A and B are shown apart, each in its own frame.
Chain A
């Protein structure tokens, strides 16, 4: 069989992530430190795990309604209002999804016609482009700048809009840069979008992880509410990555169409996870604060120390990543990561993996123990010293 001729061309043309090789090296190594994986190092808080277990004990093993447990949707709506001042009707504007990723997929497929352009600010999480393509859209990558702390500026946005633009992705707080958008930044974006039919997919999976300020959603702006679909979930806020719990909120007509896709593709999100999620919404705000405080400590330590040892690093205000500039080493971001991993056994991810605009930077995730972070900094210091010495000799 010649599968190349059989398999869908669009899928075949999508490139797999180039990061795999780092993980292959890492798996072979002993005493390696990984700041590579973008996932909380916390285990899901016990009361949430217990709620999942209890639901099994009570025999809650059937499907839920397609959009998700009614009580969970109610709790999500209450949570969004309580924490972010976002108002959604639980009955018509919320779908419980399999992780935030499904939400992004649903939003793309429900909004895009073949040939529609999707503006994807980069560097950012790798799924937006491929999911847009799978939905028939055409991703238009828009590189953000370090000197703007990786915010999207109205000028940049204006330059990227064409008459085919259908969707703007707003990936803030941002993986991998840690960049955030405040209300003023979003108002400027709203001004550019005024009078267009461009829709916003706002990926807010890191909304709870902001430092020194509360996250502002584009849907908080009256001008953007009707054109914004909010994707969020429990993975980062409640350390629940493996439960695959997310949700999609937005204008009712959009959510009703998305529900059809979800209904036929997924049926309903995992029931055990939904019961655990109800507990997370009801009694989990304290966990969020605790974890955020813990991340914040590590963040401050890492930023301060990377700058101290000579890697310029702007202060990320969100998510759990730092994104230092490695251009001063003369290495590409991939060379840097490979050398650093082989010589010092510390894994960080090349910025180039997150789209155009990421070259020259690397992503280090500080969702790791303070001990590992301190050790990683020491090894980084060593690595840079050796590198400079070698380069000095060669130069």
Chain B
């Protein structure tokens, strides 16, 4: 059933019949497995990957490095939770290396990002420093390349 997950990760719009055939299971089995994956939160959700530049949305994506003081009992989790509960936070990871958390904020204006960092993130008790990086251009996300599709150059040949 791991195969099903791989297929869904590639393209969750595939009809169940196609998923099942590709994974080598029956349609009923595939349906049941997907239901179970959804119930136990193995599958968290289904989303589209959008190139917002196409609709000229003047928004930015920011990657914020955050340094925090871990708390004695809960380590980083407690403070992480206080940060990721904010709707503005799109993704967040605990990191190894020179800073502790990566916080990604997208679909906001520059001002909104500044406001979030200055008024919400930085004042949280335990946050000792932040460094905000703005993403200038997206090249690739989740194996998908951000560029207009080249026109099909396939020539017809009989093989």
Contacts and interface: CB of A to CB of B under 8 A. Distances in A.
B159 A38 contact: yes
Given A301-B18, A374-B14, A125 B159 contact: yes
A37 B156 contact: yes
A298 B23 CA distance: 10
A233 to B, nearest CB: 12
Interface string B145-159: 000000000101111
A175 B158 CA distance: 12
Nearest to A365: B159
A300 B22 contact: yes
Main secondary structure of the interface of A (DSSP, over half): helix
Interface in A1-54: 17, 19-20, 23, 26-27, 34, 36-39
Contact of A37 (B15, B21, B22, B159): B159
A126 interface: yes
B115 interface: no
Contact of B156 (A26, A175, A300, A374): A26
Contact of B22 (A19, A175, A297): A297
A304 B16 CA distance: 13
B28 interface: no
B91 interface: no
Nearest to B24: A300
A301 B159 contact: no
B11 interface: yes
A23 B14 CA distance: 29
Contacts of B154: 37
Interface in A302-361: 304-305, 349, 353
Contact of A305 (B21, B24, B157, B158): B21
A288 interface: no
Interface string A191-232: 000000000000000000000000000000000000000000
Contacts of A36: 156
Given A300-B22, A300-B24, A374 B159 contact: no
Contacts of A37: 154, 156-157, 159
B17 interface: yes
Contacts of B18: 301, 370, 373-374
A61 B22 CA distance: 43
Interface string B15-40: 10110011110000000000000000
A38 B15 CA distance: 25
B2 to A, nearest CB: 13
Contacts of B22: 297-298, 300-301, 370
Nearest to B154: A37
Given A305-B17, A374-B15, A27 B24 contact: no
A39 B159 contact: yes
Contact of B11 (A125, A300, A349, A370): A370
Nearest to B13: A371
22 contacts: A23-B158, A26-B156, A27-B156, A37-B159, A38-B159, A39-B157, A175-B159, A297-B21, A298-B22, A300-B21, A300-B24, A301-B22, A305-B17, A349-B158, A370-B11, A370-B18, A370-B22, A371-B11, A371-B14, A373-B18, A374-B15, A374-B18
Given A20-B158, A300-B21, A353-B158, 19 more contacts: A23-B156, A23-B158, A34-B156, A36-B156, A37-B159, A39-B157, A125-B159, A126-B158, A175-B159, A297-B23, A301-B18, A305-B21, A370-B11, A370-B14, A370-B18, A371-B11, A371-B14, A374-B14, A374-B15
Interface of B: 7, 11, 14-15, 17-18, 21-24, 154, 156-159
